[in-house]
A and B are shown apart, each in its own frame.
Chain A
Amino acid sequence: MKQTAIAIILFWVFSLIYKILSGYDSSIMQVEEILATPNFTYWFGKDDFGRDIYFRLVDGFINSFLIIFCVTFISSISGIFIGVLSGYIGGKLDQTIKFITTLFMSFPGILLAIAFAAILSPGKLNLIIALSIGGWVGYARLARAQTLLVKEQDFVKASQSMGSTKSRTIFHHILPALSTPMIVEATYAVAGLIIAEASLSFLGLGLQAPEASLGGMMRDSVRYLLAFHIMQ
């Protein structure tokens, strides 16, 4: 398990360095080499437009990584902000936020992202928005639950009794206590996001050609898989 993980990381690190050093543009098309099989010059062969699949993959990985990084950043910050406020202040605000989160949770999986990707025109920025809209809920729920727990603990009460302000309590006591569960939540969320991003691109709602995306490459290749059957 550990060896596989290290091998995968090494592969991507090597690919990224190779890609940067060679400066190869993955959208260069060479018509005479359409659908070339893998060989020593083109490691993974060429696609239906004569583009190098290996470099397309690396580009797709970079795109996917950037999108997921942005989505995680936006949704974790907003989720934690909303969750901590809801847990710390409580009352009517808490009730409202709790209802909104249950509402967002009632859309299964990537359906909400599909809905928003459908109305926004496809593209990188809109993909980030569509994924972030559903992404903050998980962080908010966990942050709220954790805040409720930490709020009642003795060290928070002690600091409050010594006269620390609300913002000091939140920034110096509650947020540090939240960091561990949030990192755990983020690792799970990132795994889901990779699939979600690829799924949206697979459905044609994510990145558009000529930009490389892993899901989009999958969709194009599946077409050939089925066409191969028809040609026989």
Chain B
Amino acid sequence: MAVDAVEIAQYYTSMCNVVDNLNAGKPESMGDNEWVVHRERNVAWLQSMVDTQDYWSDEDMEIVTNFLALE
């Protein structure tokens, strides 16, 4: 199924938000183990979004690629 521009914008925003949230560190409300799983899953998700999705065009991926480079 084709992905439209609105959806692409939503997915891109989600990627940036995930990077911001992970960089902010573990929320006080989150347990240690929960944070480990949450972080691992979303780092893997970010990598898959960069590697496998072919709908990107002129989005600025620097925030994501810089984050992943430090992982």
A binds B: no
Binding site for B on A (CB under 8 A): none
